[in-house]
Chains A and B, each alone.
Chain A
Amino acid sequence: MNLTINIGKLKLKNPVMTASGTFGYGEEYSEFVDLNKLGAIVVKGISIKPKEGNPPPRICETSCGMLNSIGLQNMGVKEFLKTKLPYIRKYDTKLIVNILGNTIQEYVKLSGTLDDAGVDGIELNVSCPNVKKGGMLFGTDKKMLGKLIRTVRNNVKNSTLITKLSPNVSDIREFAKVAEESGSDAISLINTIPGMAINIKTRKPKIANMIGGLSGPAIKPIAVRMVYEAYTAVKIPIIGIGGIMNYEDAIEFMLAGATAVAAGTANFVNPVATLDIIKGIESFMKENNIMDLKELTGGLRC
């Protein structure tokens, strides 16, 4: 039985990864999860300088999901390289670093530094505002997205380059194509969906930043649809994300076109969700006589 999959140059022992921002730097979950068993760890988004994040409350629960606006709190790339990278490198798993910047130059600097440091993959978080372009999001403007990916691509020699697409666009296929044409090795989708919740007694927003990203089972059908649409548009591998709680969800994403999957909010609900998903996929393959997991990708029957 073969669970290995390829994302660009990367060969993963299985298709299960962690979604950025939901698994810390791996260490936080190491008491519960044997990190060696994961296909890849995608760590919390890193910027050049440390970011202190947004004021609390930063999350609230909604029906079958949660809203978050953490504000990209992170320790900055320097501290990451010094303390977190050596820790994860002790484990036999692939390391993918999510990066965020406010200008193309910041992305270039970050990706170059991380590429030099030998990380396996770099995931571009393009849901950040471009400060030089009046706060426009890289991820919702095709021209800007293309320019960002091309420039970063020229500077990344060894790491696999993944673009994490925003669901906040009218046609995901066009953005998937831009990513592919601009040299991204893979795409991951979806990021959270902007949402809002109000406390009717206090009339205040339930999170301090007012608007946050919705994640969890509530967004899964939207994510499956977008993975399917992206799959019809591009040849590069797709990492499916969005409300994956168990192995059934993971397989659903693969049938829609995902090569790999990432569990996010599920880690909060069940700290061993990633391991449960891997075990579940193995049992499913046995029961259904699937010798190679790659068969499932895009296996939807219409």
Chain B
Amino acid sequence: MSKYLIAEIKDNRPVNKNHNLLVLDSPGIPETPSPGQFYMVGIEGTNDPLLKRPFSLFREGNGEIHFLYRIKGKGTGLLRQMEKGEKVSLLGPLGNGYPLPPKNITPLLIAGGIGIASLFPLAAKLSDSAILFYGGRTGDELLMLDELKGMVKELIISTDNGSAGKKGTVIDVLNIFLTSNSQLLTSNLLLYACGPSPMLEAVSRVASEKGIKGYISTEGNMACGVGACLSCAVNTKKGYKRVCKEGPVFAIEEIVW
């Protein structure tokens, strides 16, 4: 069961210059969300912005629910200005989360930019079994590094300009890792990716070339979040599917690029 409610902001603090962490009081949220699920968050009392914005679950517990979000446009620009005690509308949890890996499988998590928000709770759940590849354009865009370090087996960061970690894209780094660890059987690996669309497409290519299975979390312009409006279509081998309902997490091989 998802739920629609008005939630109070407990905190809304900058994490860096264009990302914030939103902490909501979540009494009455009946269901424990799974990593990869999302919520629609709405600003009340205005028609501009009109629609709610989909945010991945970042963290939950102790009567709180956390969202890590990038300030991108009008909606998130207004949200950033909201303060403790103010209220937002919250619809969720929605969609399907990441299926967990079977035993003895090494999960490789691939996060690009704000894609870390969706993979963070998965990394937490997998505790020290996951290897996380986390890339951004510059070092100061990488978020929550200290927490992530303590969470995963290995954290491999990369930046486009080399200002932190390895220079190159997260895909470059993933390819190097797979080549230099060729003793790892691809059948013992499982990919989990979230990030911008070109990155997901590249992950799919790597997966198909190397024969590695896995999951990606997709995005789409979304209006309702509950499967009614058919806005957030994603092209799959079985035709268009809804990001909000059949997704946002899909098996990599399902998506048609």
Contacts and interface: CB of A to CB of B under 8 A. Distances in A.
Contacts of A70: 229-231
B234 A61 contact: no
B8 to A, nearest CB: 18
A245 to B, nearest CB: 7
Contact of B229 (A31, A64, A216, A268): A268
Contacts of A22: 224, 228-229
A59 B89 CA distance: 21
Interface stretch (B12-20, B44-52, B183-191): B44-52
B1 to A, nearest CB: 6
A52 B239 contact: yes
A28 B231 CA distance: 14
A29 B228 contact: yes
B2 interface: yes
Contact of A269 (B50, B220, B227, B239): B50
B51 A269 contact: yes
Given A64-B50, A267-B224, A270-B89, A58 B4 contact: no
B18 to A, nearest CB: 17
Contact of A61 (B1, B49, B232): B49
B256 to A, nearest CB: 11
B52 A68 contact: no
Interface in A194-227: 216-217
Interface string A45-70: 00000001111111111011110101
A284 interface: no
A21 interface: yes
Nearest to A24: B228
Interface in B198-257: 220-235, 239-240
A272 interface: yes
A44 B228 CA distance: 9
28 contacts: A22-B228, A22-B229, A23-B228, A28-B224, A29-B226, A31-B2, A31-B226, A44-B230, A56-B220, A56-B235, A58-B232, A59-B221, A59-B222, A61-B50, A61-B51, A64-B47, A64-B48, A64-B50, A66-B51, A70-B229, A70-B230, A73-B240, A245-B47, A265-B223, A269-B52, A270-B89, A271-B4, A272-B4
